[in-house]
Structure 1
Amino acid sequence: MTTPLDYLIAHLTAANCTGLAEATAGDIRWIEHRLAHRGPNAPWRDLDRIGTPHAQTLARSISQTTHLLTHISTTRLQAGVLHLRLAHHPHWQPQITTRRTDPAARPALSPLWPLPDAPHPALQRTLTGHTTEVRATAVSPDGTWLVTADRNGAARIWNPHSGDCTLLPADHRTGGVHSVAVSPDRTWLATASQDGTLELWDPYTCTRLRTLTNHRARVLSVAVGPGPTGPHCSPGPARPDALRRRSREPRRRPGRASPAGPPGDRHHHHGPRDSAEGVPTGRHYSGRRQSPARPHCLPGGPVQGQVRLE
């Protein structure tokens, strides 16, 4: 059930009372109340709605901490963790010091030095929701959403700005997802799994568009090439070999000498090599084997099931 407090910041902003809205949403007592009654994202939403540079800075300090507050059941513990994480922030420090003088807030832990795991200033948000190791991530071309997948086969679509996510309804039950890719026009995405299937999804309705089953073993990588977009142009019965596993032998150009190096050494070769998608890469290799660049995915850092946005 909604309360008038849920609309207070919106009404103040609409009435051009930006200073009053910023002072209210930037009060640690307001943060504690919203945290206790509406969850970790509510204080962040209030500050983000205001839109001023100072409010955005405060919103980021809250979003860097929300993943630690999600699973805390009691209000007092939530407030304690919040104070610990924000105690050395220049805006929150005086307010937290004052709050700790309240007899109702005692006993409480107080750090003497900055916490060793304090978030880096570049960190925007830590996304939580996966229950096991995150194996793959891909970002939409316009940066408005991203998709992640884990070892249990669950795939989630996230709003990186708000932290909201949607779980794809039918996941890969017989194995984890190893790779994900987004189409250039953002209208569909692909997931590649342990069970040898590739599934194409509509990211806006979370419906399955097609399942590709031409592989005989697990699919470790998937990518979407340039050109006509839309799932009707994706690999299907008309082109069953459009996606295939990595060739074990390098393709040689006509008239080129054999690759240097001892027999059987696949780390030294020249000429284009088939990628995991069966599309020539056009690269020449020498020395160590090179890998194509892919989005940076952190399998949670010290905690499994997390993705850190920086």
Structure 2
Amino acid sequence: MSETGALAKLRDSDMWWSFRRSPLVVAASLVTLIYFAGAVLAPWIAPYDPFDVKALNLMDAFTPPAWAEGGSAKHLLGTDNQGRDVLSAILYGSRVSLMIGLAAILLSVTTGVLLGLLAGFRGGWVESVIMRLADIQLTVPAILIALTLDGVTRVVLPKNVHDSVAIWVLVFSIGFAYWPQFARVTRATTLAEKNKDYVNAARIIGVPGARIALQHVLPNAWGPVLVIATIELALAIIAEASLSYLGVGMPATQPSLGTLIRIGNAFLFSGEWWIVIFPVMALVILSLSVNLLGDWLRDALNPRLR
């Protein structure tokens, strides 16, 4: 299908009609795009590099926002205790948070979908083992699983090594915590599809089981998986922020939004409110926007609501 034909099909689709009819979803999409653009372009659009120690000036520390008394036009959202520009720190922190969230969800989707396909297609003891493991993991809060895995790596790895790989520890910890949801949905779709005529026809002509699962059954699961992935992305970002806030996430030299909130919280009641309020607002708005998109996708892909 040509690009023009694909665009025309998209414009005539129910999803596009549903998208245009919801100003809240349009606004959430724009906000999400702005966040992603800001994260990707942070090195070029941020007023300062907040992690360049040579550029920091302690004389600029605790500068209020530009519109407040004592503020400076050079620092629109003020500075923190080290003289770092808060706006620049938020842009770079959003970059870290989004990268961890996306990588963690990609790991969860890959693991959960493959295990769900295997469980639904093979059945028997394979299905029982995989689904009982998923049930057991679902009884434990994701944040506790991530805390446990992070704690184990801190014991096993030296501190300097752990700090250098902290981002990948978080990705694995959060990604490992969220795979059961994807496995359950994929297994349910596989069970519904594997005995249909087109699957039986593929078996009769000798198509390998793995090829049937990946090329014929899996495409039917992408809709529900995409919905869950969108919602879980917001949860993964919040989980990363929670871990960093507790001091077991990103180090202060590579702060995410959670690290910025943890640092700013120490100065909230001493009058420097902007150090924590703006990172909190950035996290809340990002999570809310992604959640709104996930809710819309769930409704748009539900045939009963069309």
Is TM (by shorter chain) over 0.5?
A: no
Report the structure, 1 or 2, having the larger strand content.
Answer: 1
Structure 1 length-normalised TM: 0.22
Higher relative contact order (CA 8 A, sep 6+): 2
Larger radius of gyration: 1
Q: Which has the higher helix share?
A: 2
